[in-house]
A and B are shown apart, each in its own frame.
Chain A
Amino acid sequence: MGDVIELPRRGLSTPVAALQSISHAASNRLLASWDIDEWGRDDMWVRATERLTRARWTTLTGGLELIPGTGPAIVVVNTRRFRLTQWWVAVTLSEALGRPVRFVGRSDSAPFGALARRLGGLLARPDEIAGALRHRQLLVVGLTGTLDSRHVGTCDPSLLGPAVEQRVPVFPAAVTASESSRSARIEVAPRLAAPRHRRGPLGEVELARRVETQISAMLESFGGAHTGTPLDWLPWPSGGS
């Protein structure tokens, strides 16, 4: 009869256990409140990027009191090409309103799509927007990007379709951001409704046209760098987003 030999269990598991313990301690310290919501938005990342945008721009906001504190809504903004206007507006509004704001129009390829999802990005799909509105979310939708800040892009009516169907308020907002200084402005206008009650898709088409007209008028009222020289023809010097 032999004796039962008990192997030194602690000694054998030490390397893995030590690594696990270090990993656990480090993550507990750095990522204690790390959480994402049901769409994959990471509040910690959003806050961090909001600090970055604040370092770059001093943003004046107007008309935020028009946006409901709870409940679904869509804010439509003008955008310029190669900018991340929707994202920047969403991050700024999120901080100002104290509620999560998502932007529509993220890509679906890693790593940029994954990063955009963490920052609250949704795909530019009507069903995606409809789902978010059903869950009472506030969304930022962009017009198509333009090179000239004084021109307004077009609004995709299909993206406003869910808002028309669910009778969700749509707010046009004009956005300007200077390239040479720190000044930026987001001005939200009162909600727009489709001019007539339509049973078909004409409702969102008419609403989209009204949004474009409204944003165009707001940008016009902002003025811009009108020098009266050929410089005005260049897309970059004036104020649009």
Chain B
Amino acid sequence: MTARPGRRVLVSGMGGDLGSRVAVHLEREAWVGELLGIDTDPPRRRLKRAEFHLASPHDHDRILALVERFNPHVIVHMSVWEPFSRANPKTAKTLTSEAAISTLGAAAESRALESIVVRSGIEVYGRARGAPTRPDESAPIAPTCEFGRSLAEIEITARDIGRRIGVPVAAVRLGSVLGPHVPSPLGRLLRMPFVPFSVLADPPFAVVEDVECARAFVSATERRLDEPVNVLAHGAITVLQAVRRGGRIPVPLVGPDWRVAKVVSGLAGAPIPDHVLETLHRGRLADNGRMGELVGFTSAVTTGDVIDKLYAWPSVIRQPASRQVA
């Protein structure tokens, strides 16, 4: 099932890096008629066709009015705040929850609605003891961290709405998203000069590049996908291997010293939220074997490539003054 021409697409979370990247891709799609974006921050990219509205997730009435007036065919819900990416964990949880209620609630009132696509993550599978090492899309949702629970709530809400009004719902479950402008707590931690790792476990994890995330969202939207899809780069890496690639200094930790490491890392500008801590202790992988079937492409890069790029991004670009004035 593919989208018919002239569709009205609403993107919540269009201001963020991923949201604005998805909007840029959607603008190029012939089947997209009108594009509306809502977020608390203005878009980070130049958009040509999209209409954008600043709106707080708490402002249910305004969001409802915007959505009702636009009457979208497709909703791409990307208003998700990863803890310690742009907000502290408590604020991130509140904003994510409020945005889901406002946007998805308003979407349910939209008469023209044909499909819903939500941003989720592989954190929804959880990393409890005995949990599958590489869960596929059929694995049960059993989150074990706050971010995973927030994402699971979004998925459940969207699926419930989809069932009630009879529209397909796709959950795009992303690995840890890394990109030059993505505010990622994992990326920040790995780029520190000293990087802590669990010496007893050093488990593998997988990441995904922001470019491929955007492609996956656009494809899931166009195909009116009606199931979850894991979107990750191929392969896996451990923290120690990542540190080796980046030429950083590994700091082996065993147990209680993680508390100190968390504080020190926070003070140094890379706070570690619980889902990243879980990744460092228990690893985080998922089976991306159905990407080709569900979103029409498979990852072109490996986790190692994405980590190499992470270390290749310049920290600060120094622009010398064109004219010395002092």
Q: Do A and B bind each other?
A: yes
Chain A residues lying within 8 Å of B200, measured Cβ to Cβ, are 110-111, 114
Chain B residues lying within 8 Å of A108, measured Cβ to Cβ, are 129-131
Are B283 and A40 in contact, CB atoms less than 8 angstroms apart? Answer: yes
A209 on the interface (CB 8 Å rule)? Answer: no
Bound Cα distance A31, B243 (Å): 12
For the complex formed, measure the closest distance between the CB of B130 and the CB atoms of chain A, giving whole angstroms.
Answer: 5
Closest B residue to A26 using CB positions: B244
A181 on the interface (CB 8 Å rule)? Answer: no
Number of interface residues of B (CB under 8 A): 37
Q: Do A27 and B236 form a contact, CB below 8 Å, given A108-B130, A114-B200, A125-B132?
A: no
Are B132 and A114 in contact, CB atoms less than 8 angstroms apart? Answer: no
Interface residues in A45-100 (C-beta closer than 8 Å to B): none
B193 on the interface (CB 8 Å rule)? Answer: yes
* Size category of the binding interface on chain A: 20 to 34
Q: Do A131 and B241 form a contact, CB below 8 Å, given A36-B236, A40-B285, A111-B201?
A: no
Stretch at the interface among A15-23, A148-156, A198-206, A233-241: A15-23
Closest B residue to A135 using CB positions: B289
B91 on the interface (CB 8 Å rule)? Answer: no
Are A127 and B132 in contact, CB atoms less than 8 angstroms apart? Answer: yes
Interface residues in A1-35 (C-beta closer than 8 Å to B): 1-2, 4, 16, 19-21, 23-24, 27-28, 31, 34-35
Chain B residues lying within 8 Å of A16, measured Cβ to Cβ, are 193, 249
Are B326 and A34 in contact, CB atoms less than 8 angstroms apart? Answer: no
B269 on the interface (CB 8 Å rule)? Answer: no
B266 on the interface (CB 8 Å rule)? Answer: no
- What 1/0 mask marks residues of chain A from 94 to 135 whose CB sits below 8 Å from any chain B CB? 000000000000001111001001000011010110010011
Chain A residues lying within 8 Å of B136, measured Cβ to Cβ, are 127, 131, 134
Are A19 and B249 in contact, CB atoms less than 8 angstroms apart? Answer: yes
Closest B residue to A1 using CB positions: B326
Apart from A21-B247, A38-B234, A127-B136: 9 A-B pairs, beta carbons within 8 A? A4-B326, A24-B247, A31-B241, A34-B244, A39-B133, A39-B134, A117-B204, A123-B132, A131-B289
Offer 26 A-B interface pairs, CB within 8 angstroms, sorted by A.
Answer: A20-B193, A20-B247, A23-B243, A23-B248, A24-B244, A34-B244, A35-B304, A36-B237, A38-B206, A38-B236, A39-B133, A39-B204, A39-B236, A39-B285, A40-B238, A109-B129, A111-B200, A114-B201, A114-B203, A123-B132, A127-B132, A127-B139, A128-B132, A128-B134, A134-B136, A135-B287
A-B residue pairs, 3 tightest by C-beta = A24-B247, A40-B204, A110-B201
Footprint of B on A, CB under 8 Å?
1-2, 4, 16, 19-21, 23-24, 27-28, 31, 34-40, 108-111, 114, 117, 122-123, 125, 127-128, 131, 134-135
Footprint of A on B, CB under 8 Å?
129-136, 138-139, 193, 198, 200-204, 206, 234-238, 241, 243-244, 247-250, 281, 283, 285, 287, 289, 304, 326
